[in-house]
Amino acid sequence: MIAAAAIDHLSHSQVQTFTTCPRKWSYDKQEHAPRERIPSSFAFGIAVHDCLAGVNEASMHGERIDAAAAFMAQWKLAIAGEVPVHYGKDTADDLLAKGRALVTAYVPPPDIIGVEQPFTVDLDPDLPRVEGRIDLIRRDAAGNLVVADIKTAASRLLTETDAVEAQLGLYDLAYPAAQHEIIVLGKLKSPTVTVQPITPWPDRLVRQHYREVFAAMDAGVRYAVRGWGCDGCPFADRCRAEG
């Protein structure tokens, strides 16, 4: 086992992966094991995310780009790597059509002041620094800061919000804001775009969560959590062989 102390930084997605399946985190971040596959949902999320970053960036500069064309370019990039994509019930063409419809339905909010804003937070002297990027920062009508994260979902709103409350609690330590929200892109027959207000975790809870998760990483916790997350897991073959 490679000590977690060798980790030079943490991120929301790392911590989220660990809490979902510690073994998956260990394969990825400790062993740097080669990926056997990538789930199409992951490639789709990356393509939507990168496309809308371009749309928001253009809007921030008073410009517009063709979102559908941008998605097509990002989708081709996302599935063109050497690692095979694991598709579920939707084919690559289905997902291309869904993605184009989804990003076309998105309208950037006014007064964007930051897109993919990088940040670093020191939560505790005994923890690695936490790094990340904030999807979107804007000002509301009164000039207050609003921090937003963009999510794709199978429904109009997210019903399980603990993970995004933690994520936005972390962001609030980097960029304290008056309002926090997620922009939910619903992959429905008619795509939906819904702004969902989120109450972020308080400072104390964020710090405690990261301390506890890092202590578990450092202690070598790496049990497998078998379930829906195994479908398309990049390390599923290796995990099955390990037992």
Of the residues 15, 187, 225, 241, which one makes contact with ligand SF4 according to CB under 6 A? 225
Q: Of 33 and 73, which has the nearer Cβ to ligand SF4? A: 33
Question: Alpha-carbon distance 197 to 184, whole Å?
Answer: 10
Contact call for residues 33 and 238 (beta carbons, < 8 A): yes
Q: Of 36 and 203, which has the nearer Cβ to ligand SF4? A: 36
- Return all residues near 128 (Cβ < 8 A) that are at least 6 apart: 7, 8, 9, 10, 214
Helix axes of 40-60 and 92-105: crossing angle, nearest 10 degrees? 30
Question: Does 230 contact ligand SF4 by CB under 6 A?
Answer: yes
Shortest distance in whole angstroms from residue 238 CB to ligand SF4:
8
Of the residues 71, 75, 171, 235, which one makes contact with ligand SF4 according to CB under 6 A? 235
Question: Alpha-carbon distance 67 to 19, whole Å?
Answer: 34
Question: Does 217 contact ligand SF4 by CB under 6 A?
Answer: no
Of the residues 24, 49, 98, 138, which one makes contact with ligand SF4 according to CB under 6 A? 24
- Return all residues near 71 (Cβ < 8 A) that are at least 6 apart: 47, 48, 51, 96, 99, 100, 102, 103
With CA atoms as reference, report the closest residue to 166 among 20, 50, 68: 20
Q: Of 109 and 229, which has the nearer Cβ to ligand SF4? A: 229
Of the residues 10, 21, 52, 70, which one makes contact with ligand SF4 according to CB under 6 A? 21
Of the residues 10, 18, 23, 135, which one makes contact with ligand SF4 according to CB under 6 A? 23
* Residues at the site binding ligand SF4, with contacts judged by CB under 6 A: 21, 23-24, 224-226, 229-230, 233, 235-236, 239
